[in-house]
Structure 1
Amino acid sequence: MNPAKRDNDEAARAADSRLVHDFGLLIKAATRLEHRIDTALRKECQVSHTMFEVLIRLCRHPDEEISQRRLADDLTLTSSGITRLIDRMEGAGLVRRQPAPGDRRSVLVETTDHGRAVFLRAAAVHAQVVERYFVTPVPPADYGRLTRSLGQIETALRDS
């Protein structure tokens, strides 16, 4: 067999493998769901999905001091990326920065009253989209197994 044909056949088999296909389904579904959420949040609440993720972290434990650096780590953003994002959120009145007590280099971020109100509206929009496109398409008997499996994947990635 011609080496080029053999390589083409082998590449076609690899590209058509079950693992490539299954992982592609996961990525496509996650990407499309994230796009639907982002579109709905922008339209209904004038915030991006990433801004909503910041508000989740800030509202989850309102008395906890959360630094801009920690937000960057949680959201896998660069230092400049989180700075620009918090700048936009501060400009929209969603959050405010505070100097960290005892650490001149660190900045704490907290929600404003307006930010909490926007978060509550955004949480309802987010829940509607997730219910429609993530929960409803999955048979109820499979939903728990799906979420447990996703949790196991996340744990394996985090712990490795």
Structure 2
Amino acid sequence: MDAASRRGDEVTRAANSGLVRDFGLLLKAATRLEQRIDADLRRECAISHTMFEVLIRLCRKPDERVSQRRLADDLTLTSGGITRLIDRMEGAALVRRVPSPGDRRSVLVEATEGGRAVFVQAAAVHARVVERYFVAPLTRDDYVRLTGSLSEIHEALRGD
């Protein structure tokens, strides 16, 4: 066997490894679930999944206000990306920007009453989709093991 053939075999083994396959399944499942949630939220609530994620962060506590920088960090968006997203959400009357009481240079974002109402509706849509495609296909024991394992992976990645 010549060097090119050996290299081809090595490439094929790497591309077909169990680790590549298993991680690919995780990404495909997460991507498809996110796409399903996004489609249902857009159709039923007129918001994207990313907008829903912003509203989650703004509705966790009464009168919650969060800086755009923190929202960008939480959602792994660039500063320009979060600015455009908040612009769209403000245009839809879901959120409003308010001056930060502690720093005149900083702006905070808060949910409007309309945004909170949309969030409640969207939370029900989100729960329905997650239940159908993330919870229902598994036995209770498998679901507990899966979520426990995902939590362990998350913690391992936070430690680095």
Q: TM-score range by the shorter chain?
A: over 0.9
1:48-99 Cα distance to aligned partner (Å, 9 max, x none) = 0000000000001233431111101100111010000000000000000001
For normalisation by structure 1, the TM-score amounts to: 0.97
CA distance in 2, matches of 1:138, 1:100: 45
5 Å-filtered alignment, 1:1-160, equals 1-160=1-160
1:21-58 per-residue CA deviation (whole Å, 9 max, x = no partner) reads: 10000000000000000000000000000000000000
**2:129 counterpart letter in structure 1:** V
Greater shift after overlay, 130-139 or 63-72? 63-72
Deviation at 1:11, TM superposition (A): 0.6
Q: Which amino acid aligns with 2:93?
A: G
TM-score normalized with structure 2 length: 0.97
Structure 1: gaps spanning 5 or more residues: none
Q: What's the C-alpha RMSD, in Å, of the aligned pairs? A: 0.8
Q: Which runs of 5+ in 2 are unaligned?
A: none
Distance 1:14 1:102 in 2: 53
Following TM superposition, by how much is the alpha carbon of 1:131 offset from its aligned partner in structure 2, in angstroms?
0.4
The amino acid across from 1:73 in the alignment is: D
Alignment size in residue pairs: 160
Name the stretch that deviates more: 43-52 or 97-106.
97-106
